[in-house]
Amino acid sequence: MRYSKIVGLGHHVPETVITNEYLSGIMDTNDEWITERTGIKERRYVDPVKDTVANMAAKATRMALERANLTEKDIDFIVFATITPDYFFPGSGVLLQRELGLESIGALDIRNACSGFIYALSVADQFIKSGMYKTILVVGAEIQSTAIDMTTRGRNTAVIFADGAGAVILQPTDQPGILSTHLHADGRYAEELYVRDPGSSRPREERQPEQILDTTTFKVVMNGSQVFKHAVVRFMEVINEALAANGMKKEDIDLLIPHQANLRISQFVQHKLELPDSKVYNNIMRYGNTTAASIPIALSEAWAEGKVKEDNLICLAAFGSGFTWASALIRW
């Protein structure tokens, strides 16, 4: 039986640290509110002159390649998860291919928001299992800071979302690696967490940029309490689904890496699964919610800290815009 295995992981976060105190100076919010509701203490914002989604992804990729003892030339396909691509089109996968100096290998963008990385991992896993590709680069990268409404009007999202990139390299193995992935969506809730423009949902006269007077439709709209309510249910469902599919129990999990949506959501899931702190990895306190980048950044940091060991059972789980939700169970 052919499985795929993560052979290298890396991440990159921008240098600029944005504290809760800084945000409190430019909008009506405060450290106590942000910490209590989200667990976030600080986050990273790009330098828009220096950083792009594709070049942050390239930095994360180079770390992953080095740790895997591979070079750019070994990569034969790219799957790029992002909802903040450098351009409206083409996707960031082709820009990453260019950044890495690769020519003609395929590049696919995935736009499944916070579940994007697990969707991307699942797609890559199928390509490896089918034998179509041997070395696939899977990345999640986002630049959200430059689109955030940094006024009191946007505070419910401004305090949460941030920038970063994470990457993993997948290769085939005959030993269990990625055991299974589980992908779900419920489009009835699409508008509970979304950015409307520049979408094609408008008639011609409204779609011309000079006609768009209300630019708030370019900002994230989030119904926070709806997101929270659905997230806690779907996280549990999709983790239990992964365990059941593999005949395993929650006690078998060595490390759970939840998408870093909100520390309160992660803590709820941890409590329901009765996992000790040592079995759940969170870094949202330092990076905020980096959407598709959050899981690969957390996985890369957890691995570097020695918390992901050979033979461990690692569970990844995510929930986000769509709504979409997903999980992956990995024998490391």
Name the site residues for ligand COA (rule: CB under 6 A): 29, 33-34, 37-38, 114, 155-156, 159-160, 224-225, 227-228, 261-262, 265, 289, 320
Compute the least distance from the CB of residue 238 to ligand COA, in Å: 14
**Residue 87: CB atoms within 10 Å:** 11
Q: Tokens for 37? A: 């509701």
Residue 304 CB, shortest distance to ligand COA, in Å, is 24
- Which residue among the candidates 182, 259, 262, 315 is catalytic per the annotation? 259
Residue 28 or residue 66: which is nearer to ligand COA going by CB? 28
CB nearer to ligand COA: pick between 4 and 324: 324
Residue 263 burial (C-beta neighbours within 10 Å; 0-12, 13-18, 19+) = buried
Q: Is 289 a catalytic residue?
A: yes
Judged by DSSP in three states, 314 sits in strand
* Alpha helices (H) along the chain: 20-26, 31-38, 53-68, 92-99, 116-130, 155-158, 204-207, 224-245, 263-273, 284-287, 294-304
Determine which one of 11, 283, 289, 315 is catalytic.
289
Q: In DSSP terms, which residues pair with 139 in a beta bridge? A: 80, 167
Of 29 and 217, the one with the shorter C-beta distance to ligand COA is 29
**From 20, 112, 114, 230, active-site residue:** 114
Instruction: Provide the phi-psi class of 248: left if phi over 0, else alpha when psi is between -120 and 50, else beta.
Output: beta
Min separation Cβ 157 and ligand COA, Å: 8
In this structure, what token pair is assigned to residue 113?
């928001």
112 catalytic residue (yes or no)? no
DSSP letters, 164-179, are EEEEEEEEEESS--EE
- Dihedral of the alpha carbons of 61, 64, 68, 73, in degrees to the nearest 10: 0
Token digits of residue 232: 């806690």
Name the residue number minimizing CB distance to ligand COA.
224
Considering beta carbons, is residue 37 or 184 the nearer one to ligand COA? 37
Shortest CB 96 distance to ligand COA, Å? 23
Active site residue 259: yes
- Which residue lies nearer to ligand COA by CB, 183 or 248? 183
Least CB distance from residue 232 to ligand COA, whole Å? 9
Point out the residues that are catalytic: 114, 259, 289
